[in-house]
Amino acid sequence: MTSADLRFELEDLYAEYARLLDDGPLEAWPDLFTAESLYLVIPRENHDAGLPLAVMRCESRGMLRDRVRAVRETIMYEPRYLRHHITQIRPEPAPTGSEMRVTAHYTVVEVLQDELPRILSVGRYLDVVVRDAEDHLRFAEKRVVYDSVLVPNTIVYPL
């Protein structure tokens, strides 16, 4: 595979990721991860200091599905729309073995039903992408490191 093909393929993966979170179906979002994947949403403050606490921590695709179900069925929140903007998708120059480290920047704009749009979160994705048995790129690891010290109220949907 040429480097250009790989870049298009990664571009598609991140576009699909954003589409599923922003426009749904949210239930299909965990399918972009491997069964044993690790998904963390972690404040930069903790990441930089080597502190392990994440505000979302899913250690398998099953935990991602549990999170989605809680969003659908148990959490009480004001209706909202999110819009992900993912840029600077950058695979590491020389992938080692079957794993590829990828970094990207993201901005998530949140629109609460009666309010003006605002930035909910801005930061980096520090990802590990692998190719599954069906030749699809999937996330084996995704660390969402947000730059702000404070979260504007609540993070309901995954970032």
Report the interface residues with another protein, using CB under 8 A. 41-43, 45-46, 49, 51-60, 62-63, 65-67, 69-70, 73-78, 149-156
Q: Of 91, 115, 131, 97, nearest to 8 (Cα)?
A: 91
Query: Taking a C-beta distance cutoff of 8 angstroms, is the pair 140, 16 a contact?
Result: no
CB closer to another protein out of 13 and 42: 42
On the question of a cis peptide bond just before residue 25, with omega within 30 degrees of 0, the verdict is yes
Q: Minimum CB separation from another protein for residue 23, in Å?
A: 21
Dihedral of alpha carbons 39, 46, 121, 124, sign? negative
Q: In one letter, which amino acid is 58?
A: C
Closer of 2 and 74 to another protein (Cβ): 74
Closer residue to another protein in complex, CB, 49/133? 49
Q: Which residues contact 130 (CB under 8 A, 6 or more apart)?
A: 34, 98, 99, 100, 137, 138, 140
User: Shortest gap between Cβ of 18 and another protein (angstroms)?
Assistant: 18
Closest CB to another protein among 11 and 59?
Answer: 59
- Rounded to a whole number of angstroms, the minimum distance from the CB of residue 24 to another protein is 19
Minimum CB–partner distance for residue 110 and another protein (Å): 13
